[in-house]
Amino acid sequence: MMLVDELRVALGAERLIEDPDVQASYAHDEAEWAPAGRPLLVVRARTTEDVRAVVQACLRHRVPLVPRGAGTGLSGGANAVDGCVVLSTEQMTDVVEINPVERLAVVQPGVVNDHLRAAAAQQGLWYPPDPASAPWSTIGGNVATNAGGLCCVKYGVTRDYVLALEVVTGTGELVRLGRRTAKGVAGYDLAGLIVGSEGTLGVVTEITVRLRPARAPEHTVAGYFGSLVAAGEAVRAVGEAGLVPSALELVDRHCLRAVDDWKNMGLSADADVILLGRTDAPGPAGEEEAAAMLACFEQAGATWAARSTDQEEADALFAARRLAYPALERLGPVLTEDVCVPRAAVPEMLGRIEATARRHDVLIANVAHAGDGNLHPLIITPAGDDAARRRAQGAFEQIIADALELGGTVTGEHGVGLLKRGGLAQELAPAVQAMHRAVKQALDPAGILNPGKVFTAAAGSRQTGSLPTDPA
């Protein structure tokens, strides 16, 4: 039987998307610059058994399988390859368990990040990882990319919260990795290995995450700066002062203007660059930390800085930061960077980004999880301007080269996907790339899982982006 017929029988026609126009909307994530192929079929799984049936069918027919969550990724990691099955877990939305004594949650991969956070909050608990996409992105996608977010600077990233995973492997086996206990060293950390592997080592069907107790209310400190570099100096000063803010975000004038143009928030009149710091230390310690952060902002030359005493105002500033990306998308295709550099290199890297924008004659807007050196220069080109696209590509590559030169990494939290494959090959030594291929070969020997993502196949390997596909 052909693959599509087989899956129609196994899962029911309502799980399949066969309309090419609808399929097209499942063929890519939000990385506007990344190429996407045409899927053979899109399947929306409801259960673990659905997922397993799809993986096993793809194995039998040697058809590539591309897993996806909500498709909010920014590196093309969920983009279809020609003739593949796209497997969406967006409809696996059960919150299976919130356990206040063990402080853990068990969810299906399609649960939206904000939904998990709300469910935890109802029991006085908190799930920290908070990518800017939290209202839309799913925990499954967050696990696939090891998503970060605003409060990572103090609380770590998705991998730091994943206790256990249920996974369908590249050999079609259903396995449970990790544990429910607070500690455990029984064997290799295979759950941690799956986190951030961008669907290339297995399809995650259930996730057990650690939760924390709800935290103290945050204090917000805002600073306006006359230049990116001055804001970067403030970031370095916060690090040098030994402060650990619960957020330290940077938003530049291009972003502020785009948000103003869209939402009319009146942010861009006074500031070239805004730095938003938060602390959630309890009681007087929070007051002290906020005061110390304010002093760092002022020493670094803030044109204006203050502790926000108005919670609504503080929330509006953070809302503007979260809106920066969609606001910029309205101006033209955005080529998203995601480099991460050592804290001390933040001012230098911001200066180099400005120089790159000038040299390549492109508009680069900046938002940044500045406190951990994770910068998102966003390169915006007018739609349909091919010369601008070429200049943008040159800027993109220069930024990667600069980040690596400063001891940084090509991707802080978005993942490699398609956009950073070249960067990864620059960052990792050949022997480390060989280790990646060996692990991929070990856990997905048929090479069906998200082929061509993260790294390209070695010559002679079975991991190709163009498996001998069944015409179905």
Residues 400-429 that bind a second copy (CB under 8 A): 407-416, 420, 423-424, 427-429
Q: Does 374 bind a second copy (CB under 8 A)?
A: yes
Q: Does 226 bind a second copy (CB under 8 A)?
A: no
Burial class (CB in 10 A: 0-12, 13-18, 19+), 264: exposed
The correct pick among 65, 78, 195, 449 for binding a second copy (CB under 8 A) is: 195
Q: Which residues contact 244 (CB under 8 A, 6 or more apart)?
A: 153, 154
The correct pick among 2, 291, 319, 438 for binding a second copy (CB under 8 A) is: 438
How far is Cα 24 from Cα 22, in angstroms, rounded to an integer?
5
Q: Which is nearer to a second copy, 146 or 356 (CB)?
A: 146
448 DSSP assignment: -
Cβ atoms of 110 and 138 closer than 8 Å = yes
- Give the distance, in angstroms, between the CA of residue 343 and the centroid of all CA atoms in the same chain: 20
Q: Which is nearer to a second copy, 408 or 452 (CB)?
A: 408
Q: Does 174 bind a second copy (CB under 8 A)?
A: yes
Q: Which is nearer to a second copy, 23 or 200 (CB)?
A: 200
Burial class (CB in 10 A: 0-12, 13-18, 19+), 298: middle
Which residue in 258, 260, 234 sits closest to 248, CA to CA?
A: 234
Q: Does 176 bind a second copy (CB under 8 A)?
A: yes
The correct pick among 153, 362, 365, 446 for binding a second copy (CB under 8 A) is: 153
Q: Which is nearer to a second copy, 182 or 291 (CB)?
A: 182
Parallel/antiparallel/unpaired status of strands 85-88 and 41-44: parallel
Q: Which is nearer to a second copy, 74 or 379 (CB)?
A: 74
Q: Please identify, among the stretches 17-25, 50-58, 174-182, 269-277, the one whose residues bind a second copy according to the rule CB under 8 A.
A: 174-182
Q: Does 314 bind a second copy (CB under 8 A)?
A: no
Grouping H, G, I as helix, E, B as strand and the rest as coil, residue 371 is: helix
Closest approach, Cβ 241 to a second copy, in A, equals: 9
Which residue in 75, 88, 63 sits closest to 36, CA to CA?
A: 75
18 DSSP assignment: -
Closest approach, Cβ 416 to a second copy, in A, equals: 6
Q: Does 151 bind a second copy (CB under 8 A)?
A: no
Draw the binding track, 265-304, toward a second copy (x: CB under 8 A; -: no contact). ----------------xxxxx-------------------
Q: Which is nearer to a second copy, 46 or 414 (CB)?
A: 414
Draw the binding track, 42-71, toward a second copy (x: CB under 8 A; -: no contact). ------------------------------
Q: Does 342 bind a second copy (CB under 8 A)?
A: yes
- Per CB under 8 A, contacts with a second copy among 238-257 are 239-240, 242-244
The correct pick among 4, 119, 152, 467 for binding a second copy (CB under 8 A) is: 152
How far is Cα 187 from Cα 124, in angstroms, rounded to an integer?
33
Closest approach, Cβ 467 to a second copy, in A, equals: 20
CB atoms within 10 A of CB 135: 13
Q: Does 436 bind a second copy (CB under 8 A)?
A: yes
Residue entry with tokens 């600073």? 223
How far is Cα 456 from Cα 420, in angstroms, rounded to an integer?
11
How far is Cα 321 from Cα 63, in angstroms, rounded to an integer?
41
Q: Does 462 bind a second copy (CB under 8 A)?
A: no
How far is Cα 289 from Cα 279, in angstroms, rounded to an integer?
7
Q: Which is nearer to a second copy, 91 or 99 (CB)?
A: 99
How far is Cα 201 from Cα 193, in angstroms, rounded to an integer?
9
Closest approach, Cβ 461 to a second copy, in A, equals: 13
Closest approach, Cβ 197 to a second copy, in A, equals: 6
How far is Cα 215 from Cα 282, in angstroms, rounded to an integer?
8
Name the amino acid, one letter, at 229: V
Grouping H, G, I as helix, E, B as strand and the rest as coil, residue 387 is: helix
Q: Does 101 bind a second copy (CB under 8 A)?
A: yes
Q: Does 122 bind a second copy (CB under 8 A)?
A: no
Q: Which is nearer to a second copy, 107 or 340 (CB)?
A: 340
Q: Which is nearer to a second copy, 101 or 459 (CB)?
A: 101
CB atoms within 10 A of CB 2: 12
